[in-house]
Structure 1
Amino acid sequence: MSHLNNRNVLVMGLGLFGGGVGAVRFLCNAGAHVTVTDLRGEDDLKESVEALKGLDITYVLGHHQEEDFARSDLVVANPGVPRSSKYLEIAEESGVPITTEICLFVERCEAPVIGITGSSGKTTTTCLLAAMLGQESREVFSGGNIGGSLLGQLENISSDSRIVLELSSFQLDYLGTIHWSPDVAVVTNFAPNHLDVHGSLEAYRKAKQEIVQHQDASGVVILNGDDPEVRGWGKAKRHLFSAEGAVQRGTYVDLDRIMHNLSGEPKEICKTGSLKLPGKHNLRNALAAACTALSAGISESAIASVLESFQGVEHRLEFVARLGGVSFVNDSIATSPERTQVALDAVPGNIVLIAGGYDKGLAYDHLGPVIGRRVSNLVLLGDTAEEIADSVPKGSATRIHRTDNLAAAVNKSRALAGEEGTVLFSPASASYDMFRNFADRGKKFKELVKEMN
């Protein structure tokens, strides 16, 4: 629906990350009559509601009204709402079109788009790439799942702008309905996640593959050559990145050097040891961003400048404090067991792991043995506590403790860490049983640590 003036538009799921706020503001400015409906109440959504103060909006909070979905001209759904929702089914049965904030944006964006997805590493790769592009371009816009909305920037975006979108499986699922894929698609990796929403691993995979499904012959796809699941995705021009060795065309590691061969002869970008980001997973994120930036014409020196200075992203292996010889690391973004495995590989020394949270229906059988090898003490809380505990091999040296809340977990972990060690907060689970989202959870962890000082 290109014309929104005087249309009755229902926004389902205002949310707290800014995408819903951006969509509502855009719709109001376009002349639509906007109703916002969310199962959460006004107290839970007060930040978002306050951000929209002064706009002519009808709110239906704490519940949904079926008639709103049947009588609207358009429904703009939060991408996290399952498409099987009975309310969306009511809209479909009533002939009401359904879209999302990201669909509204890409349908109106004049500039070519670089889209980044993966089960992990999306945000770090997006931030790295935006910084690299910004070294040699003044008009770089990043958005999507990273937070906020670019709808309000449409008037500032021209065909010469550079757009970088982090794209979740939920966003891609909806983008598939309009047969859209980005001009350049980047896939960092693939592992099971969000099965509670998608329903199956195959449905999750299909959603992720939408990023390459609708590319034409002019498209470019940049894939993790170390991940057998994704390295064959897509039919567009293909570049690979690898931390294990040389690739036919792309970026790779050769001993202690980050290299590329996109222009023919191998060229060095920088030394691996000059990266500020910890862990092999971040090395792959750096390789993905560098490969994409090179394909966009950015120089090796500009890319190296970013790689050698970039400090990381909040809630992703974020160093919080060192108290009495004990380091505290916030990895609240770890909403799946695979993310926590990566964190355990990246953090050296004696680890006290705080884990557990909302159950998304994921398996922990591969995480348990890693915990048994790397973790001295495991402090658990939340719905997944018992499943994580059961995954640790019997007879391992890991001692398991249970707590009722995060404050108790942090206090216990500091005592268990002794004079030296690392308290790693990497929950391997979603946050919704105790917190609004992973960011809220991470901020609470940091507050608790700082209160100890």
Structure 2
Amino acid sequence: MNQKILVAGSGKSGIAAVGLILKTGDEVILYDSNDALNKDELLHQFGEEGRISVLLGELKKEDLSGVSLCVISPGISLEAPFVAVLKEADIPVWSEIQLAYHHAKGKLAAITGTNGKTTTTALIGEIMKAYYEHVFVVGNIGVPYTEEALKTTEDSVTVAEVSSFQLETITDFRPDVSAILNITPDHLDRHKTMECYIEVKERITSNQRSQDFCILNYDDPVLREFGKTIKPQVVYFSSRQFLEEGYCMDGDRIIRNHNGERTEIADIHGVQLLGRHNHENIMAAAAVAAEMGVPMEIISQAVREFKAVEHRIEFVAEKAGVKYYNDSKGTNPDAAIQAIKAMPGPTLLIAGGYDKNSQYDEWIESFDGKVKYMVLLGQTREKIAECAARHGFTNVMYAEDMQEAVKVCASYANRGDHVLLSPACASWGMFKCYEERGEIFKESVRNL
């Protein structure tokens, strides 16, 4: 019997969810609280007769007649007014990854954490493609899981980057291998407390069983303790401690210790990813791939050949002896700390953006003499400047847009310096997304 499903949100995720639902024969109501949207333009994307309708503005209980399920886009808070209407009508709310999982087949690896998700997911995807014939890399990495779910088969492998927003509304979502890379403060404007944020991240393991695996960061005390409480088999990785069992560093070598055997994965001088945090990403990717059945020699080769993903400490160009790096995906202070640590010399930093209620003290302290100047943009610029002043850093300038910020850095940089865009903030307000912010930065650099 066909269902009537409400899809909340008309962005990329919502549109992909509608497409999946229509292909399975169910009926859809596409809902968006923005009543200024054009219904005809939204409907035109699907070309379906009678099985999709569009509802804009306030959602009322009478609008839910016959609706059995709501699929909510990750950008929508569960505190949105219409969610209370759904709860009152006793309509279950699924995330898009839950919908996709419901229809998908084959093996699934799912990666979450505050930082490093995209790089790790992309690297796992490349490792899988070197061994398996049919591989899908989905989620926050740019391709909605719902867009690919119906293409999966019993023999395919899916690698999914999943966010805390997506994990809020899962029911039986169950990866064969999960990974939590790290947990540091982020999205507290939505989750309110670190306890809530941690609990949501840890939900990735909530349906896993004893035959499944969970890859955890041993250096994160929350995750180290969490590993003692869960059903799946735990594999740890550490960039700071030697592990008798797990993935760790041996000098400059990334190794795996397992059942008394030592296997070298890569020498850090032979990989193209900069920084300790990326060594951790490599360990996590290798661990996931190994538990998904990929031989270690294939893992090692893929690791050596892998290049940094776009917008994550991405080398852009060298102009007048100054190297420019795009880390637009550094949307929180901890990610921005890792980018600063990865810079090999004096750095001029472009930062600032939308305020996610983050604290910037630890980030400012991480400058440690490496950051020469900071050029600030967006809503948070005064807040960041005040924090910097409290820590004795006063080489701060403001810019009205990215083009101005890049020109200011170019005028103050000396040969051998590095200019880094690593905002420590979300892009909203000035840009549609972090990708747009990064592209504008790169274009500004090229135009110098």
Distance in 1, matches of 2:413 and 2:236, equals: 41
Of 334, 346, 369 in structure 1, the residue corresponding to residue 330 of structure 2 is 334
Deviations 1:270-317 (A, max 9, x none): 212111011111110001111121222322221111111111111101
Distance change in 2, residues 1:55/1:102 (3 Å): same
Q: Give the match for residue 361 of structure 2.
A: 365
Q: In structure 1, the residue corresponding to 2:366 is in which secondary structure?
A: helix
Q: Give the match for residue 28 of structure 1.
A: 22
283-292 or 384-393, which moves further after superposition?
A: 384-393
Q: Give the match for residue 422 of structure 1.
A: 418
1:195 offset after TM fit, Å?
Answer: 0.7
Q: Counterpart amino acid of 1:400? A: V
CA contact (8 A) 1:368 1:393 kept: no
Q: Counterpart amino acid of 2:9? A: G
CA contact (8 A) 1:372 1:392 kept: no
Distance in 1, matches of 2:374 and 2:107, equals: 46
Of 91, 100, 106 in structure 1, the residue corresponding to residue 101 of structure 2 is 106
CA contact (8 A) 2:427 2:433 kept: yes
Superposed CA RMSD: 2.4
Of 262, 275, 279 in structure 1, the residue corresponding to residue 258 of structure 2 is 262
CA contact (8 A) 2:178 2:213 kept: yes
1:327 offset after TM fit, Å?
Answer: 1.5
Q: In structure 1, the residue corresponding to 2:22 is in which secondary structure?
A: helix
CA contact (8 A) 1:320 1:330 kept: yes
CA contact (8 A) 1:10 1:69 kept: no
Distance in 2, matches of 1:44 and 1:267, equals: 58
75-84 or 274-283, which moves further after superposition?
A: 75-84
CA contact (8 A) 1:26 1:151 kept: yes
Task: Report matched runs for 1:152-301 at 5 Å.
Answer: 152-175=147-170, 178-234=171-227, 235=230, 236-301=232-297
Distance in 1, matches of 2:264 and 2:391, equals: 47
Distance in 1, matches of 2:182 and 2:391, equals: 33
1:406 offset after TM fit, Å?
Answer: 1.9
CA contact (8 A) 1:15 1:45 kept: no
Listed as ranges, the gaps of 5+ residues in structure 1 are: none
1:88 offset after TM fit, Å?
Answer: 0.9
Q: In structure 1, the residue corresponding to 2:109 is in which secondary structure?
A: strand
Distance change in 2, residues 1:151/1:307 (3 Å): same
1:31 offset after TM fit, Å?
Answer: 2.7
Distance in 1, matches of 2:407 and 2:156, equals: 48
Q: Give the match for residue 134 of structure 2.
A: 139
1:397 offset after TM fit, Å?
Answer: 5.8
Distance in 2, matches of 1:297 and 1:102, equals: 24
Of 306, 318, 335 in structure 1, the residue corresponding to residue 302 of structure 2 is 306
Q: Give the match for residue 37 of structure 1.
A: 31
Distance in 1, matches of 2:145 and 2:76, equals: 20
1:346 offset after TM fit, Å?
Answer: 0.4
1:436 offset after TM fit, Å?
Answer: 1.2
Q: In structure 2, the residue corresponding to 1:366 is in which secondary structure?
A: helix
Distance change in 2, residues 1:154/1:298 (3 Å): same
CA contact (8 A) 1:82 1:198 kept: no
Q: Give the match for residue 321 of structure 1.
A: 317
CA contact (8 A) 1:369 1:393 kept: no
Q: Give the match for residue 387 of structure 1.
A: 383
Q: In structure 2, the residue corresponding to 1:392 is in which secondary structure?
A: helix
CA contact (8 A) 1:376 1:398 kept: no
1:117 offset after TM fit, Å?
Answer: 0.7
Listed as ranges, the gaps of 5+ residues in structure 2 are: none
Distance in 1, matches of 2:285 and 2:182, equals: 13
Distance change in 2, residues 1:447/1:51 (3 Å): farther
CA contact (8 A) 1:274 1:308 kept: yes
Q: Give the match for residue 96 of structure 1.
A: 91
Alignment of 1:343 with 2:336, yes or no, is no
Distance change in 2, residues 1:317/1:35 (3 Å): same
Alignment of 1:15 with 2:31, yes or no, is no
1:44 offset after TM fit, Å?
Answer: 11
1:259 offset after TM fit, Å?
Answer: 1.2
Deviations 1:95-137 (A, max 9, x none): 2232222111112223232111110011111111111122111
CA contact (8 A) 2:177 2:212 kept: yes
1:206 offset after TM fit, Å?
Answer: 0.7
296-305 or 203-212, which moves further after superposition?
A: 296-305
CA contact (8 A) 2:347 2:373 kept: yes
1:156 offset after TM fit, Å?
Answer: 3.6
122-131 or 440-449, which moves further after superposition?
A: 440-449
Distance in 2, matches of 1:69 and 1:269, equals: 56
Q: Counterpart amino acid of 1:118? A: G
Q: Counterpart amino acid of 1:80? A: G
Distance change in 2, residues 1:41/1:339 (3 Å): farther
The TM-score with structure 1 as length reference comes to: 0.91
Distance change in 2, residues 1:397/1:203 (3 Å): closer
Q: Counterpart amino acid of 1:89? A: A
Distance change in 2, residues 1:45/1:102 (3 Å): farther
Deviations 1:339-376 (A, max 9, x none): 11111100121211111111111111111222353211
Distance change in 2, residues 1:419/1:90 (3 Å): same
Q: In structure 2, the residue corresponding to 1:230 is in which secondary structure?
A: helix
1:398 offset after TM fit, Å?
Answer: 4.9
Distance change in 2, residues 1:51/1:300 (3 Å): farther
Distance in 1, matches of 2:395 and 2:63, equals: 51
Q: Counterpart amino acid of 1:76? A: V
Q: Give the match for residue 112 of structure 2.
A: 117
385-394 or 120-129, which moves further after superposition?
A: 385-394
The TM-score with structure 2 as length reference comes to: 0.92
CA contact (8 A) 1:22 1:148 kept: no
Q: Give the match for residue 377 of structure 1.
A: 373
390-399 or 186-195, which moves further after superposition?
A: 390-399
Distance change in 2, residues 1:395/1:256 (3 Å): closer
Distance change in 2, residues 1:394/1:96 (3 Å): closer
1:40 offset after TM fit, Å?
Answer: 5.4
